Amino acid sequence: MAVYQAPGCWPGEAEGRILWVGSQEKPERRSSADRPAEIARLRDALRRGLADIEAWIERQPTLGGRVLLQSCRDALQDPAFTQRVTMLIDQHGLSAPAALDEAAGLVAGIMARSEELAERARLLPMAARWLARRLSGAAYPPGVILAAQEFSPLELLDRTCPAVMAAGEPAVVGDAPLLWGVAAASPDWDGRRARISGTRLIIGEEAEAAMRYEAERRAVVEVARRMKADGLVRLTAGNVSCRIAGAGLFAITPSGMDYDRLEPADICILDLDGNVVEGHRRPSTEAPLHRMTYRMRPDVGGIVHTHSIYASAFACTGQELPVISTELAALVGGTVRCAPYAESGTEAFADVAVATLGEEDVAVLFQNHGVMAVGPTLERAYAVAVGVEEAAQILHIARQLGEPIILPEEERRRLFRARRTRYGQSGEA
């Protein structure tokens, strides 16, 4: 357990898992189909945002806080800024969040050349990001304690979650619990159980709550780490899941997290309709693929989706992977087919993948993407993923040497049955 004493706070008591808030993500630069509606949406968000800032100004006990918020309000109402935002939507078809971000950067750069407008140039990007986040509908999950190096004044006032920051006392005053000046605040705290009590932050094992489905979460973490260590993925690509027997649920890796840093608490628990039942992370973007596979294949207990190099090369040429070795025959039985191209992370992608996988296959290639392996257990699915990549390498090399010999279907099926009934120790085949 670790206890940190903060120099100051906005009082309150809170418990939850720490959610590290890093640098603000830039809004996705996408287009808007209905430009007049997007402009109307922007104006409504700006009106409501300005009204909230006015209310916060009235509640500030210090002159410095009131002046700062008035400057934020003035920055958002700056004519050059509002005209630029509207133009980016109307003429370039950008979405309102993307237009806010781009306009703030352009206008603040011009303002910064003037000493008189230097303060507005500093505040404009911060205020625009705050409004863009509101427009995008982004929300923090319940039961978290936010942590960051620093929060902007608008972020501090526009929240209900408790928070901790390394920066010193803010210029504004708000209500939701806040500890400031906690110099040890670090991304390593992300996901850890913590408690705020007065000016104290308590982090550690004693604060950890009991975790359900721990065995399945740990299994997913272990396979995800092995997947990276064995070279089946790089960086944060791929995903792993495990069915939770008898519960109508599955455990899946979170989106975009380094597998070497994964902990069981990071694993998301979803139901077969795609709802997050437990977990403080965003689940993998390929959750629809896993969900639909479990729904359509009750025999599947584990799924491993990789971007392994050689198998992905076959997928990128739209080729299927014939059974060239006895090892692959024992693992998959028949030819590994290639699903037609579809946008990954979508229901359409999941539909195409599951249709190609069929009722009996245990592996499928995704055109221009990667590989999915399934099995009655997660361990078995991982063995299939390894076997598919090995077979793809062997076939590539064999083609350099001559014409590969493909195993006859009858022999493939015999080897597949033998693997299931005679390989390994009793109860482990």
For residue 176 the two structure tokens come to 């939701």
CB atoms < 10 A from the CB of 53, how many? 22
CB atoms < 10 A from the CB of 97, how many? 27
State the Cα–Cα distance between residues 396 and 392, nearest whole angstrom: 6
Query: Do β-strands 363-366 and 338-339 pair in parallel, antiparallel, or remain unpaired?
Result: parallel
- DSSP annotation of 283 reads B
Scanning 271-408, the segments in alpha helix (DSSP H) are: 287-296, 309-316, 326-332, 347-357, 378-401
Q: CA neighbours within 13 Å on the CB side: how many for 159? A: 26
Catalytic entry in 38, 102, 216, 286: 286
286 is catalytic: yes
> What residues pair up with 306 in beta bridges, in sequence order?
371
For residue 58 the two structure tokens come to 């009235």
Q: How far apart are the first and last CA of the chain?
A: 43
> Exposed, middle or buried by CB within 10 Å (0-12, 13-18, 19+), for 316?
middle
CB atoms < 10 A from the CB of 294, how many? 24
Q: Are the C-beta atoms of residues 36 and 121 closer than 8 Å to each other?
A: no
State the Cα–Cα distance between residues 52 and 37, nearest whole angstrom: 23
Q: Which residues are catalytic?
A: 286
